[in-house]
């Protein structure tokens, strides 16, 4: 998978991509990351990325053209066909991110995430995307709240999607048997899990898990699956 991230602050992602499984995925060439700063597409002397909103001056708005040009530069530089990529705008949208999106994104060859600041982006970025990339363009929220910077939402979506790519997590069962899985029809089901010691504050590990009998343990896990 190739991740293309449009952001004014790529350094925010430094620790995110340089630790744990995401770092290993890059070392194995499973995951590639590219950053694009939209400020580089500002044509004025000071590379001003934002400006006052017409009729309302309480907030600043990111200009549409640098965002559009940044996305187009990614598409052109990588010679992408429309079937190759999705353009994702994390935002307070009515469309809420879930595990189904994770599965869809995990099978995508290229994902373009557009992170933004301030009040939003000039609406013409949406008119442009709807006209030229109606099947690729998506606005997705994490839930009914607003963030200061949408790199956080981007990280969440990336983490959720990339963990489903084969060999990012070595144990395939970890990707298949989990809450919110397609296998369980997206029901939020999980059985209780335990580790050593057997006794914690007088709470014991269920005796069925100590038998070593795989059939009995599987049955116990099935019988004890519940909504989280």
Main-chain phi, psi angles of 96, to 5 degrees = -100, 130
Residue 108's pLDDT is 95
Which pLDDT does position 26 carry in this prediction? 95
What is the band of 183 on the pLDDT scale with cuts at 50, 70, 90? low
What digits encode the pLDDT tens for the residues 169-178? 876 555 555 6
- The tally of CA atoms less than 13 A away on the side-chain side of residue 31 is 25
C-alpha distance across the termini of the chain, in Å: 31
Question: Among 83-97, 115-129, 161-175, which is the least confidently predicted range?
Answer: 161-175
User: Quick one: CA dihedral 121, 126, 127, 131, positive or negative?
Assistant: positive
The predicted-structure confidence for 120-133, as pLDDT tens digits, reads as follows 899 999 999 999 99
Domains of the chain: 2-172 (3.40.1280.10), 191-227 (1.10.1270.20)
Quickly state the pLDDT bin for 180 (edges 50, 70, 90). low
Q: What is the pTM of this model?
A: 0.87
Rounded CA gap, 66 and 43, in Å? 9
* Torsions phi, psi for 221 (to 5 deg): -65, -40
pLDDT at 86 over 60: yes
Q: Indicate if the pLDDT at residue 182 is higher than 70.
A: no
Using the predicted structure, report yes or no on whether residue 196 has a pLDDT greater than 90. Answer: yes
Number of residues that make up the chain: 228
Across the chain, mean pLDDT equals: 90
76-80 contacts at long range (C-beta below 8 A, 24 or more positions apart): 78/2, 78/4, 78/110, 80/110
Sign of the CA dihedral with 215 first, then 217, 220, and 222 last:
negative
Q: What percent of the chain has pLDDT over 70?
A: 91
Q: Average pLDDT in the 18-47 region?
A: 94
Residue 123: Cβ within 10 Å count: 10
Tokens coding 28: 């194995």
Position 58 pLDDT exceeds 90: no
Give the pLDDT mean for 186-205: 88
Is the predicted pLDDT of residue 77 greater than 80, yes or no?
Answer: yes
Residue 71 has a pLDDT of 98
Residue reference for tokens 């006209």: 131
Q: What angle do CA 189, 194, 196 make, to 5 degrees?
A: 170
- Reported as a pLDDT band with limits 50, 70 and 90, residue 202 is very high
Phi, psi of 63 (to 5 degrees): -70, 150
The answer, yes or no, to whether residue 90 has pLDDT greater than 80, is yes
């Amino acid at each position: 998978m190739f991740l293309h991230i449009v952001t004014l602050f790529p350094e925010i992602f430094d620790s995110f991509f340089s630790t744990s499984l995401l770092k290993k995925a890059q070392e194995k060439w499973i995951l590639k990351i590219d950053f694009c700063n939209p400020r580089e597409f500002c044509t004025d002397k000071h590379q001003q990325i934002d400006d006052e909103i017409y009729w309302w001056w309480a907030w600043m708005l990111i200009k549409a053209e640098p965002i559009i040009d940044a996305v187009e530069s990614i598409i052109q530089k990588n010679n992408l066909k429309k079937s190759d990529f999705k353009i994702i705008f994390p935002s307070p949208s009515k469309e809420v991110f879930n595990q189904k999106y994770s599965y869809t994104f995990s099978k995508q060859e290229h994902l373009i995430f557009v992170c933004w600041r301030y009040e939003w982006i000039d609406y013409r970025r949406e008119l442009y995307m709807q006209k030229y990339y109606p099947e690729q363009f998506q606005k997705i929220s994490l839930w009914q709240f607003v963030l200061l910077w949408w790199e956080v939402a981007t990280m969440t979506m990336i983490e959720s999607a990339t963990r489903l790519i084969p060999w990012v997590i070595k144990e395939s069962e970890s990707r298949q048997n989990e809450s919110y899985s397609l296998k369980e029809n997206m029901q939020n089901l999980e059985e209780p899990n335990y580790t050593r010691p057997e006794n914690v504050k007088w709470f014991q590990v269920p005796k069925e898990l100590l038998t070593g009998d795989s059939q009995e343990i599987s049955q116990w896990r099935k019988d004890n699956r519940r909504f989280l």
